[in-house]
Structure 1
Amino acid sequence: MFVIAHLSDPHIDGSEEARSRLRRITSYLRAFRQPVDVVLVTGDLADHALESEYAELAAELKLDVPVLVLPGNHDVSAPLRAGLGDYIDSPGEGHPVHQVRDVGGARFVLVDTSVPGEDHGLLSPESLAWLDAVLREPVDGPLFVAFHHPPFELHHPVLDQWLLRSGDELEAVLRGKPLTAVLAGHVHNGLATTFAGLPFLVAPGIRSTPPLPFEPPAPGGGLVDNTTAHPGFALHIHEPGKPLQTLYRFPA
């Protein structure tokens, strides 16, 4: 059994609120009677892309298990590489921050969908070609692709402006590949669906949970942030020969 703790969107900004919400998750993980095999954080690691924010996050993610991180739209490549150097294995010095990481027999292809200075996501032809080549390499164990921006609408009037705008091109690359699942974040809601014929699993937001328009509004009536909801994360459980299982946890 191989267990992934999938976190997303901590938006560390130096505040006690952001720090305490992340610590509710990391404290829960540290209390596991059997540690997870890997922790994956799918973007929006820092809120303002400051080196001090990444340094704070690096300290919070010391969990005695492998930790993988990738950028979101709030992140900036240079300070991310500087502040989270121990968690990043990506050639080059700037953008994009693509990675291929092998952990415990599983392969994680971590794709940078961020666009410098923008909130939406996009994959250049060069990034798509890189991803296609990596996914054609032989792999014996489970294979995951992870990135920040989902390529489909959530039916949310604000979040749907900031999705991945190269969804058709990505689907063409992913379809037919021997992937176990695709993992993402960005929308601050736990979500399970399919994309390119594959399981597509989105982690809840740590920093906040935006309600959908037909749900009760967040305190203050807004549709973007609800910091009264518990921070959450996903547990993905892989066993050879069996379908992937995903559980969502919201530590109080």
Structure 2
Amino acid sequence: MSGTHIVPEGALVSGRRDTSDALARLVGRIGSIRDRFGRIDALLVSGDLSNDGSAESYTRLKSLIAPLYLPLSIAPGNHDARDAMQAAYDKNLPDTGALNRTRQIGGIQLIGLDTLVEGQGGGTLSPDTLAFLQSALAKADGGPVLLVLHHPPFACGIRFIDDIGLTNRDALGEVLTDYSGALRLVCGNIHSMIVSDVAGHIALSAPSSCSTFAQDLRPDAPVGYMAQEDGCLLHRWESGFQSIRIGPVAGTGPFPF
């Protein structure tokens, strides 16, 4: 998941969006079809868990995803706050500093990177975070890697999103270009699924549970979000990566051919 944008109870995002109800609907959808996928090892949220960085919003998020009973892996987004995130999810994050983490999930090495620059919309990978990534990739030793960060490591063409993108995409590419194993990047911030390429590796933006952005590439495109709710991605590893978009609702059927 990405971009859940949870706020304290009684609040609405931009005075109109009930993001908690939207997330509850997506959690219910996942629960209703979960038996089709076999075992799910973890829930990954690639940033903007909260909309305001408040302790109350992180507590509320935990209660909303609790019905999934899944271990949680997270990366901070531009709407998040490090101290509040660390306090709420201390078992899932480092004690201090950048919220970078690596963990083994089945046969995959999951690497989460902190791109947050607090007080700004755009993100960057600090020298320490780039060094962390280099070390984590060395330990992965050519094995499959799922690399997670919030700010997109590629341009999406939506001007106001690219304006708050990752400032040092080239530095990330330099670290990744020599990794010979299977590596998939997952990011957030775009609120819809886009497939791109970064240093020879497939990169995906995850949809948001609460809203989308119009794919409007005009320089004067209006700045704002669409009220359409979207779903999430299911990542599988079986001699190769496979990523499947799970929509927020199901159509009728199945009907016989």
Q: Classify 1:141/1:25 alpha carbon distance in 2 versus 1 (closer, same or farther; 3 Å).
A: farther
Structure 2 counterpart of 1:232: 231
Structure 2 counterpart of 1:30: 31
Structure 2 counterpart of 1:186: 189
Structure 2 counterpart of 1:66: 71
Q: Secondary structure at the match of 2:146?
A: strand
Deviation at 1:139, TM superposition (A): 4.9
Q: Classify 1:222/1:45 alpha carbon distance in 2 versus 1 (closer, same or farther; 3 Å).
A: same
Counterparts of 1:93-104 in structure 2, within 5 Å, are 93=96, 95-104=97-106
CA distance in 1 between partners of 2:215 and 2:140 (Å)? 41
Structure 1 position 204 matched with structure 2 position 198: no
Q: Deviations over 1:180-226 (max 9, x none)?
A: 311111111111111110010110112210102269xxxxx954211
Structure 2 counterpart of 1:123: 125
Deviation at 1:145, TM superposition (A): 1.0
Deviation at 1:113, TM superposition (A): 0.6
The answer to which structure, 1 or 2, has the higher relative contact order (CA under 8 A, 6+ apart) is 1
1:21 touches 1:231 (CA, 8 Å); kept in 2? no
| Aligned-pair Cα RMSD in Å | 1.9
Structure 1 position 107 matched with structure 2 position 109: yes
Deviation at 1:176, TM superposition (A): 2.0
CA distance in 2 between partners of 1:204 and 1:173 (Å)? 26
Deviation at 1:154, TM superposition (A): 1.2
Structure 1 position 77 matched with structure 2 position 82: yes
Runs of 5+ consecutive residues of structure 1 not aligned to the other structure: 1-6, 216-220
Counterparts of 1:143-222 in structure 2, within 5 Å, are 143-177=145-179, 178-213=181-216, 222=222
Q: Deviations over 1:51-77 (max 9, x none)?
A: 000111111222222221110001111
Question: Percent identity at matched positions?
Answer: 27
1:22 touches 1:231 (CA, 8 Å); kept in 2? no
Structure 2 counterpart of 1:11: 5
Range with bigger deviation, 115-124 or 95-104: 95-104
Q: Secondary structure at the match of 2:159?
A: coil
CA distance in 2 between partners of 1:122 and 1:37 (Å)? 29
Structure 1 position 247 matched with structure 2 position 244: yes
1:70 touches 1:110 (CA, 8 Å); kept in 2? yes
User: What TM-score does the superposition give when structure 1 sets the normalisation length?
Assistant: 0.87
User: What TM-score does the superposition give when structure 2 sets the normalisation length?
Assistant: 0.85
Q: Deviations over 1:44-101 (max 9, x none)?
A: 0100000000111111222222221110001111011112224x231x32x3111112
Q: Secondary structure at the match of 1:194?
A: strand
Runs of 5+ consecutive residues of structure 2 not aligned to the other structure: 13-17, 250-257
Q: Which one-letter code corresponds to 1:238 in the other structure?
A: W
CA distance in 2 between partners of 1:24 and 1:130 (Å)? 36
Q: Which one-letter code corresponds to 1:23 in the other structure?
A: A
2:86 touches 2:93 (CA, 8 Å); kept in 1? no
